[in-house]
Each structure stands twice: as structure tokens, then as C-alpha cells.
Structure 1
Amino acid sequence: MDAPLIPAQPHHASHDREIESLAEFDEVVARDGTLAHYRVQAVDLTDRTEVLTSVGTEGAVFLGCPMDPDAATAVRAAGALVFPPVPGLPFDPYRAFVYSPDELFAGLDDGYEATPDALAYAWFQRTKADGDIFGSMLRAVHDDAVSDALDELLAGARVVGVMGGHAMARGTEAYAGAARLGRELARAGLTVATGGGPGAMEAANLGAYAAPFTDGMLEEALLLLAKAPSFTPSVTEWARAAFEVRERWPGGGASVGIPTWFYGHEPPNAFASGIAKYFANATREDGLLARSNAGVVFLPGAAGTVQEIFDNATPNYYESRGEPTPMVLVDRAHWTERLPAWPLLRALARGRSMESRIVLVDRIEDAPAALKRHGG
């Protein structure tokens, strides 16, 4: 059985002058003897004053790097740009990496409201409509940094998106089916990417987490999670159940969650190893679908999932991202009767190259084979 993973990749050419950790900083200084024209991103340089005042920094850019005031003065005088850390924020707008579950849920023992995730949402609620250009700039810088980090994380990966509603409860057969789907996709060597929230999204990330373990692990995990079936009324208890699973079975498989603070009532799930969380939902939606280069599976959902179907159909229709990618809709009754997106999708695809890449299946168990058969 192949363990699911997100391949660790070196920087691409566009990133080969980025420094994103103190170890990278020291390596570049030792190797090149200069920082000229490098971009140093969210690295704490308070203990590197001697280096910063003795090596070349012409054309360098320091993004949110704490440093001694004398060092900041010296590098500016040498021709560098310094964007200092912004105090008082519950997030780092210049961050170099996607989030981890442990980072977003830090302080959960004191209740979800005390976590960085909840604090970032509270800040967003206070600032999203006040018209302050500084707040909107910080959100835009943050989201661009997250996109850059996500691109680096997924470089070279075959990514399959799994979309579905947040209302799918733990303890249901639908949730278990979505988890088994995520496990099968991950075991096939695909990187599972979801909207990163509860319900069907969490189930698919859970399945990817369970992929390296025996089949019995997932069945036990499902029973543990069923103790807190929904994130309402208590996000705290819902999240604690997930961390209980992670603690009992550490070192699970990798997957990606791409949630948003726009839907603040939806917390991120703790089973995605990399969480690219955005303030702008439109950026998040487009980015999630654009990175699903091996296709997308659409589980039953409501307005958000319907939107994702047609957000994905549009570039497939126009082939604006190249060859169309597979789209697999699961549950015939849901997509032809309750929310009849399938007839419209099929009509839209008629006569286009995407026509052979769309499929409707009755059972979630049929989705992996359909994805593969239609080009995934």
C-alpha cells in the first residue's frame, strides 16, 4: 500500500531567491556571502544583527521579519525594503507556510474561542466592512502569501478535489462513505484536497489521514468521532474529538484543506495536514478548483457545492486551464431531483471536449473508478 503524501519540493525558479526559515537564511549567507535581491519572508532575525549589518542587502526585501532597529536601519541604508511585522494581529500576513491544525487550534483546552482560528475570524468580523484600506491590504497580503505557500506545498502533486456540504454529520453512513473515498484516493497516490471544513470535507481529509493505517483504524476513528457528531452547538467538543483521534493514531497521511474565514461559522477540520485558510472566499474557491489537476468529486451538498460544480465547469468548458479535468457527481437522486445540477451540466458539456470527462454515479464507492476511467 502506497502511503499518501504531498511531495516535498525544492523552490521553483520563481521561488529560488526566497528565504523562508532561519536555516535557509544561514545557508544562503554561508554560501553566497550576500542577501542582495533575496526575499526574506517571516523569519525572526533578532539574533542576526551582526550578519545583517555586514553583508550586502541591496535590492533585498524583508517581509515581516523581526529584527533589531539598528539592523533595520542598516539594511534600509544599503538599499533594502523592510516591511516590519504588524503588531496586534492574530495572524501573520507575511507567513511563509500554510497552517497546521495544531497552529490554528492552539489553546483549544481553553475553548475554541481562544484559538488563533477563532481570533482571526473575530478580527475579520471587526474589520471586513469598516472601509479601512489598511485592513483590506493586510487581508490581501495574507491571502497572497498563503497562495504562494500552497503552490510550493503542492508542486508536483496529483491533486483530486473532494467537494461536499458541511452538514454531513459524523456517525452517518454518508460520512463514513466520504471517509472511505478519501482513503482510497490517498492510497492511489493522489493528494486529497477539500474545502477544509466540517462534514463531507472533514470526512475526506480523515480518510486521507487514515490511509497509512489498517482498515480497522478508520472504523474505530469513526466511532470516536460520532461522540461529537457536529460542530454545532460546540466547536470545542467537535475539535477535541478530532484531536483525540490524532493523538491515538499519530502520523497519519497528508492531505490539504482550503477553508475560509468568510464562513466563520465553519471551523477548519483537524485532519488536513496542510491548511491554506483565506479571508477572501472567491480566491479560496478558485484556488481550490484550479489546483485539483486530477479531477473533482462532488458529494451531495447545497448552495456552496452547486457553486463549485459550475465554477469548475467554466474553465473546463472554455479549456482555459488546458485539457478538461474529470468531474464526478455522486448521488443521482440528489443531483437530478433535489438539486438538479446534473441535467444543466450535461447540457452545457454537450459537444465540448469536457463531455467525456463528466459522470454521474449512484454510490460513493463508484467514484474512484469513475474518476480514473474519465481521466483522473
Structure 2
Amino acid sequence: MGNPENAREFEERRQGPVLRRREQVQPGTTDQRLLDTEGDSEWVHTDPWRVMRIQSEFVEGFGALAELPSAISVFGSARTAPGTPEYEAGIRIGKALVDAGFAVITGGGPGAMEAANKGAREAGGISVGLGIELPFEQGLNPHVDIGVNFRYFFVRKTMFVKYASGFVVLPGGLGTLDELFEALTLVQTGKVTRFPIVLFGTEYWSGLVDWLRDTVVAQGKASERDLLLFHVTDDVEEAVSLVTKETGL
């Protein structure tokens, strides 16, 4: 009789496009596992199943936003309190974007996002919120007309860029910085074109701009022209003009 270990050495099985050999060969077939109703539910947490969830999120997002008119994404802190100058600026920006003919897209949460959605709704425009599943409950703010909740940040980020013609970035924290630098990288590398980015609030953003110029660019980690990828302003009308001027509307 042959050596079982030698037989195992040459064992292989194809499962669709996947080839498994030796110890990685799985008993049964894919159909058997699909039709087997017994066993635990751990399969819903496997990577292949996650791919289907990711795909479904793209499909749902594309379907919900495909007929959206030209839009601008507005970012900012969820911790911005109502009644503060930053919150009021968000409302004015949301209104001004609608008056300029644009829908407003935010992360759908409270704070600066809520302010921009509120401004868009009060101006009679389309107010969109793209939420994200978080460990703490946040939910979509009441001023969102079209809302989509996502499990995965990278799917949500795709929607922000795909369905917006530009970004207005209000003062915010790590999430806001993440979206900002994602957009800057996409523009810098030519992945998106004609995509203006406006930072609103010179006092808040000046330290970051100084660091980019005096450290990042000065040490050769970025080019001087990269500082032209964004504009900084304190004026709502200027912010809206800058972020919409390249859209052709």
C-alpha cells in the first residue's frame, strides 16, 4: 500500500477558479456546503461572503445615487455644536450650494454634516447623507432626504467622490482629515480630474497648510504645485464659487 503522506502530497482539488493542494484541500464540494442546512453560521463572517456584502453595498449606493444631479460633498466634524459659528457656516454653505444648482452630500451625521444638510433642505434642494456603521450609534440626521448607510468606509468614500464634483471641508477631526487627504491624493495622482477642494476656516486650517508647505514640501515629500490642489477661505460665497466654478454649470 502506498504511503498516505505521499498521496496527500499530490492531492489537489479545484473549486471554481481556486486551486487547493495538500493540506488546503477541503472535503466535499461547494454545492454540498451551499445546500447543507446544518452547522453553525460562521460562514457569514468569511472573506468570500464579505465580498458579496461589499458588492451589494456598491450596487445599493450606485442605485440610490445614479440619478442625483451635480453635487458637492461637504465634510466636517460630527462634534460641531448647533449655534456655533461653524455650524451656522455649514447651514449657509448648504443653502448657497443649492442656490448654485447643486445637491449636497454629507456623511449624514450630526454637527457640521447636519448643518450642511439642513441648509440644503431649507433651500429646497436635495440633501444626501451617506452614513457609516460605527461602534457607537450615530444615525442619519433628520435633514437628510436620501440616505444610505454603509458597512465599509472604502465603499462610502467611493460614493463621496463618484457622485460629487468637489469638496468643501469644514473644520473636523480624523474622519474629516481622512476624506481630505483621500481626495487630495486622488487629484494629485490624476485618478480624478476637475475636482476642486476648498478648506473653510483659515484659522483652523492654517497650521496644517503651514506644515504641508514648511515640512512636507520643504523636505521634498511633496511638490510645491501640490499646494495648489486646494483653496482656503473664510467666505461662504467664495467657497461656493471656488468649488463649483469648474463644473460647467
Same fold per superposition (TM over 0.5): yes
CA contact (8 A) 2:131 2:150 kept: yes
The alpha-carbon deviation at position 176 of structure 1 amounts to: 1.6
* Counterpart in the other structure of 1:309: 180
How does 1:150-299 map onto structure 2 within 5 Å?
150-154=64-68, 157-212=69-124, 253-262=125-134, 264-293=136-165, 295-299=166-170
The alpha-carbon deviation at position 366 of structure 1 amounts to: 3.6
* Counterpart in the other structure of 1:146: 60
* Counterpart in the other structure of 1:344: 212
RMSD between aligned residues: 2.8
Task: Report the AA paired with residue 173 of structure 2.
Answer: A
Task: Report the AA paired with residue 129 of structure 2.
Answer: G
CA distance in 1, matches of 2:169, 2:154: 18
How does 1:114-125 map onto structure 2 within 5 Å?
none
Q: Which moved more, 1:130-139 or 1:324-333?
A: 130-139
Any idea what SS the aligned residue of 2:104 has?
strand
List runs of 5+ in structure 2 lacking aligned partners. Answer: 1-40
CA distance in 1, matches of 2:117, 2:94: 6
Describe the superposition over 1:261-320 as per-residue Cα deviations: whole angstroms up to 9, x where unpaired.
Answer: 136432211212111211111211232123222x11000001111111110011110111
CA distance in 2, matches of 1:285, 1:263: 19
CA contact (8 A) 1:317 1:324 kept: no
List runs of 5+ in structure 1 lacking aligned partners. Answer: 1-126, 213-252
TM-score for the superposition, normalised by structure 2: 0.70
Number of positions where the alignment pairs a residue of Structure 1 with one of Structure 2: 200
CA contact (8 A) 1:182 1:208 kept: yes
Task: Report the AA paired with residue 165 of structure 1.
Answer: S
TM-score for the superposition, normalised by structure 1: 0.48
CA contact (8 A) 2:58 2:155 kept: no
Describe the superposition over 1:109-156 as per-residue Cα deviations: whole angstroms up to 9, x where unpaired.
Answer: xxxxxxxxxxxxxxxxxx99x8445863563243123222134232xx
CA contact (8 A) 1:328 1:360 kept: yes
Any idea what SS the aligned residue of 1:312 has?
helix
Q: Counting strand residues as a fraction of each chain, which structure ranks higher?
A: 2
Relative distance call for 1:371 and 1:152 in structure 2 (3 A) is closer
Relative distance call for 1:276 and 1:372 in structure 2 (3 A) is same
CA distance in 2, matches of 1:328, 1:178: 13
